[in-house]
Chains A and B, each alone.
Chain A
Amino acid sequence: MARVLICAGSGGVGKTTTAAALSVALARRGLKVAVLTIDPARRLADSLDIGDIGNEARRVPLPDAHLDAIMLDQKATFDDVVQRFAPDPETRARILDNHYYRYVSTRLAGTHEYMAMEKLYDLWASGSYDVVVLDTPPARHALDFLQAPDKMAGLMDEGVMHWLTLPRNALGFRVLERGSTALVGVFRRLIGERTMSDIAEFFHLFHQLWAGFNERSKKARSLLSSADTRLLLVTTPAPAARAEAQAFLDAIEAAGMPFGGFLVNRVVPSPTAPPPAREAFGDPPAAMDAGTWDALVEAVREAPAHQERLATATGRYLDALRLEAGDAPLWRVPELDREVHDLAGLTVIADHLSPAIDELGF
């Protein structure tokens, strides 16, 4: 059975890079790893050095390691689902051509998360990997990933579909029929005949593959609470971090999902030595004027104090997170000197993630 690591976190905390670095670290330990990313900027493809990344697995050129990267294409994934569960080619073609389906498969809130889960399940069930790492879609809040699929499932819910398809097959729903016909009539007036018939047709067709779709999404959901799965919260020492951590822990506890720990990026290290004395600097390099040299020497002597101010400013949020974490593991990744652009950069982060991987039992 493959294990699953899910990296959740709000926008701008380095979630995609962390997921990639985790995957690199796991692959270097000899595990067969798949990383599913959602990074719309495609920067990950660049740093993994794989050029074009798509909905199909691409091997990352990491020596002596088995690491595949997949970038979620939510429309293609939804198309695959339709393909798999449509009862016949005609239904499949009609769904794929339906205008409303195009909206549902690309822009409906929650679809992205739903399809990430679908693709995750697909990779997990393939049997090709020891570990599947998921980078969750960009979100305002870390919790969105956990909640969004329910929103979509709510829309796709059989009850709603019954209502929408009632005007066509209303037998046995006499009381409801009058109300629903009125509703549909009102709707037709509000959003126009064509859209209304697109929506009605979509739900009518989708009804036929609902059982398969629903069955599969239940399995995908149960994967999230499996004993082989760990949710990780990627965060940074920032003002909102503590409240987010609290809400996240509450939500995954309520949902019965296993928490792995906190991965805190951009931890600012404090100076360990006092600032160097003026005398330690010696003479300026050749052809540098004394005024510039003096200014730079003073700047270097002030740099540790500035670093300390930064460390203090952000350290308070780290302390708050630590408090919130309680017994849960919390791993720190120091702020990097340069932005990550390539596999070498990811490898540096991977080294920092080593304790996390040990503690997660790999």
Chain B
Amino acid sequence: MNLLARRVVIVTGKGGVGKTTVASAIALAAAERGRKVALCETQGSRRVPDLFDRPSKGYKLTEVHPGLSTLSITSDQAIEDYILQQVKVRALYKLAFKNRVMGPFMRAVPGLHDLVQLGKVWDLERLRDAGEPTWDLVVVDAPATGHGLTMLKSPQSMMDLTVAGPFHDNAKLIRDLVVDAQRTALVLVSLPEEMPVNETIELYERLEGFRAQVALSVLNEVHPTVIGHPDTWPRAREHLAGRAELAEAVRFADRAHVREVAQATARRRLADALPCALAELPFLFHRDLRLRDLKGLATALDPWLEA
């Protein structure tokens, strides 16, 4: 379950649950422990630099915090890298990119745009400085659920598609990294609400060959307890019903109660369905997420890095 002992941590979950925030907090927590961390956004998303109050340099790795660098992977640029660095046929590269037609042509290859983004991650993982890994940990802010799964499976899909040849051999190297539970961990992010938890459990079930890699699930935006006493509250509510001067306060209290019950249910369902550690992050009342908040979240996740 030790995230810090892995080489790659891939963060996924339903859209809108805070994958980018969690990926950033994990990366920051690892960096605060002195690790050299590369944090990759996928599909051209560029939200991380902003969290650190730095301008984005897109595909170019840029340090946003001591020990923490980030980049935004786009499939177009990753395809170029893939051809140039991994297939290592310069003539082919020239042919491909001096030629306007090649772009759409490459996009026509099934699953290539997903594969090359993982290819870039693989590339960062194997980078060495004087024999030592350049990056101790590569954290990936992966696409949401369905697409995230497609991306994880893209190396195998490419291998099935091509059967042999350079793409096949290269996809195999990437596949070997992604399916290796010693080197790659998955983190599933969820919210303490019914639908996101359903989707997280469904995603876990669909992960099949990757289940062993799920090292941590994160319940994000957990609200503080206001009411407590989940079993007793309904009786108190009944008792107070019909009292006009209390109606609004009781309604808000009940709302808080419903949320607390939903949170407890979410916690229990995730713990039952996913045989991994479950971390929780608090709902932030000042959600204009600043570095100070992110540090708070990183501190909250720190115990789980080596859990």
Contacts and interface: CB of A to CB of B under 8 A. Distances in A.
B161 to A, nearest CB: 5
B175 interface: no
B5 interface: no
A9 B235 CA distance: 40
B201 to A, nearest CB: 12
A339 interface: yes
Interface string B86-125: 0100001001100101101101111101000000000000
B133 interface: no
B242 interface: no
A310 B195 CA distance: 21
Contacts of A155: 104, 107-108
Interface stretch (A18-26, A224-232, A270-278, A350-358): A270-278
A183 interface: yes
Interface string B10-37: 0000111100000000000000000000
Given A183-B102, A303-B226, A285 B258 contact: no
A296 B229 contact: yes
Given A107-B111, A140-B15, A300-B240, A306 B252 contact: yes
Contact of B233 (A109, A151, A187, A296): A296
Nearest to B110: A103
B209 interface: no
Given A275-B249, A303-B256, A337-B254, A190 B166 contact: yes
Main DSSP-derived SS at the A contact region: helix
B199 interface: yes
A70 B299 CA distance: 47
Given A183-B101, A309-B285, A295 B249 contact: no
Interface in B236-289: 236, 238-240, 243, 245-246, 248-256, 258, 284-289
A337 B245 contact: no
Interface stretch (B52-60, B143-151, B180-188, B211-219): B143-151
B303 interface: no
Interface residues of B, number: 70
B199 A191 contact: no
Contacts of A190: 87, 162, 165-167
Given A160-B108, A307-B255, A313 B287 contact: yes
Contact of B248 (A12, A186, A273): A273
A306 B256 contact: yes
15 contacts: A12-B14, A163-B105, A164-B108, A192-B165, A194-B163, A195-B109, A281-B246, A295-B228, A295-B229, A296-B232, A300-B250, A302-B226, A303-B255, A309-B285, A337-B251
Given A11-B144, A271-B249, 13 more contacts: A10-B15, A41-B195, A138-B146, A160-B104, A186-B95, A192-B164, A194-B163, A195-B110, A273-B248, A288-B232, A300-B249, A302-B226, A339-B195
Interface of B: 14-17, 43, 45, 87, 92, 95-96, 99, 101-102, 104-105, 107-111, 113, 143-144, 146, 150, 161-168, 193-196, 198-199, 202, 226-229, 232-233, 235-236, 238-240, 243, 245-246, 248-256, 258, 284-289
Interface of A: 10-13, 40-41, 43, 100, 103, 107-109, 138-140, 151, 154-155, 157, 159-160, 163-164, 179-180, 182-183, 186-187, 189-192, 194-195, 199, 238-239, 271-273, 275-276, 280-281, 284-285, 288, 292-293, 295-296, 299-304, 306-307, 309-310, 312-313, 316-317, 335, 337-339
